[in-house]
Amino acid sequence: MSGSYSVLIIDMFHYDPEEDYTIDGFPSVELANEFARRWVRDSVEELRAGNGTREELRRLWHTFGEDASVLGGEPHYAGSHELDFFIAHPATTAERDWQEIKKLAGIA
């Protein structure tokens, strides 16, 4: 499937559906999915404490984190679908680099 895809960003800390926003213009669902994945990985890593438990990190993310959901992709992808994996496996710098995906997609 080709076309243009968008990623919905949801800030759980200030959750208000009126404040959700989208990042538009991904030329493929694969790039949109990878952007959403890296966005959420970055959100998890920003909350990761050196001595925190997985349960604490999960609670922090649900309270203060950001989710990213691809609009128009099938099957539907949201970064939160992989939350347990992200919590169990700390991300490298490259795995968090959502800005690189925006560049690859030609999004300013």
CB 66 within 8 A of CB 11: yes
Query: Burial, 77: exposed, middle or buried (Cβ in 10 Å; 0-12, 13-18, 19+)?
Result: buried
Q: What are the Cα distances from residue 28, in Å, to 13, 69, 74, 79, 104?
A: 29, 14, 11, 17, 11
Residue extents of the structural domains in the chain: 5-105
Mean pLDDT of the chain: 91
pLDDT digits (tens, 9 = 90+) for 52-103: 899 999 999 999 999 999 998 788 899 999 999 999 999 999 999 999 999 9
pLDDT digits (tens, 9 = 90+) for 8-59: 999 988 777 788 889 999 999 999 999 999 999 999 999 998 778 999 999 9
Tokens of 44: 């998890």
pLDDT score recorded for residue 82: 97
Q: Which amino acid is at 45?
A: E
pLDDT score recorded for residue 1: 43
